[in-house]
Structure 1
Amino acid sequence: MLTYADYLKIDDLLDLQALRSEPPEHDEMLFIVIHQTYELWFKQLLHETRFLMGRMQADDISRSFHVLKRILKIMKTLVGQVDILETMTPLEFDSFRHRLDSSSGFQSYQFRAFEFLLGYKREQPLTFQPEGSVGRKLLEDCLQTPSVWQVFVQLLARHGYAIPETELTKPVTEATVENEQVQQVLIELYRTNHNLSELCELLVDLDEGLQEWRYRHVKMVQRTIGAKMGSGGSSGAAYLQQTLFKPVFPDLWEIRSAL
């Protein structure tokens, strides 16, 4: 008989929280559980984002709405979990922080893969993953995959909008950048097509949700370690601040003053 524990592999799951502190520090368990939970949500975000792109490629606007709303709920959950992590004081974190050794959150290959799928593509995150590793292969795959934005502008072109050919044929490995011609198309779209403009607004919500997650992450790190060097050799909060308020769908923000 299949049980709840068998189906969800609960025994295996509960065996994954291996504390490194000796003697065990109470708060290390919270740190591990929170970050393992984040990785599970990142896995789901990748799953949903790939499905979203498939729905847009099939011109399934209705289902795209539904999937985007689910992604937004997950993003809100990610932000909400920061509240739990912030119950850990600087001294409590410091009691086991040295046990992290060279590991660091910026090495999260699933989160970087999510950024790649949204269109924030660059080579640097690959350098943190060993050749042939699971993380390296995932990032290489997502780097070679059309982004959400590329899939979206292709959808607009199929619906008769004059997306420039250079935007439709640009290499999938390139990061999304502003395009004035695309912005003119979006302004027209907002004025004439309520359905597609609502899809645009959900993409704006997603972009804003990502920025909110980055902001809360930065403030949590500042609250916990201040200006100290981050684990894994990063510059801590200073490293995270570099990505603040950088939209992944810049054209959708640039048109605001023209609407």
Structure 2
Amino acid sequence: MPEGDTVFRQCRILHEALAGAVLTRAELRVPRHAEADLVGWSVQEVLPRGKHLLMRLLPPADRPQAPLTLHSHLMMDGIWFVDEKPLISSDTSAQRRAPHTARAILEARRADGSITRAVGYDIKMVHLLRTQDEHLEVGHLGPDLLDPDWDEDLREEAVANLRAQAHLPLGQALLDQRVMAGIGNIYRSELCFLQRISPFAPTARLQDPGALVDLAHRLLSVNADRTVRVTTGGMMGRDGDLWVYGRAGRPCRRCHGRIARQMMAQPDVEGAQPRPVFLCPRCQAGAR
């Protein structure tokens, strides 16, 4: 499942490519919306909400209807292409997406007459709904760490949500998008390491929840414009972008002990499979 900064970048590129353009082709290859007619609709904007993509559409002048939103979620393997280029440049499988895995195909005419094509591959969630009903799809999410209007109120809401998960292991609380939206498996491991606490430790053991929220907001923000995610500050040279994620069996960058890989369940997510977490048993308090 992608991190919030990945979704943020995809939304920005889609917005730059499609905002203001009029759809000349729109195929939603999901049974629920297979017959939806969006030709003539214009793209108002594309924006993220946590890990969700919201493409807002305006009706043609001769068809007065309520504005619609095309809501998609990348899940584990989804990706959008614009003009045949993947929007995740580091995705090694991006160039091998089979045509039959396309779930949304959009072509739109821009003001200069050029045609832009956007295709969503392997997208498991594609919903079309009235824009005024967006809250039914994303209203359950906690504060978005990449919300352009992030302020002290949103910060305090995220802190309160995190404190309310005191009974859960911290690693489970961080992946719960109802606490704060945007953290995925990579940031979960990295945040726990930087806070020197095991993802298996109870959230109640976290000494300063506000510091963790601030760190999460800062890390996602600085990586929102990067194609290569960096949490170490980029000061460690080649292969030094992350502290622990994906480094099982390799030396800790702090203490030189061995990084461990363990599996963690996500009991509050129906059908979710256990996900790996990476940690340094020496550096992180409460490690198993």
Q: Structure 2 length normalisation: TM-score?
A: 0.20
- The higher-RCO structure (CA 8 Å, 6+ apart) is 1
Q: Structure 1 length normalisation: TM-score?
A: 0.22
Relative to its length, the structure with more helix (as a share) is 1
Relative to its length, the structure with more strand (as a share) is 2
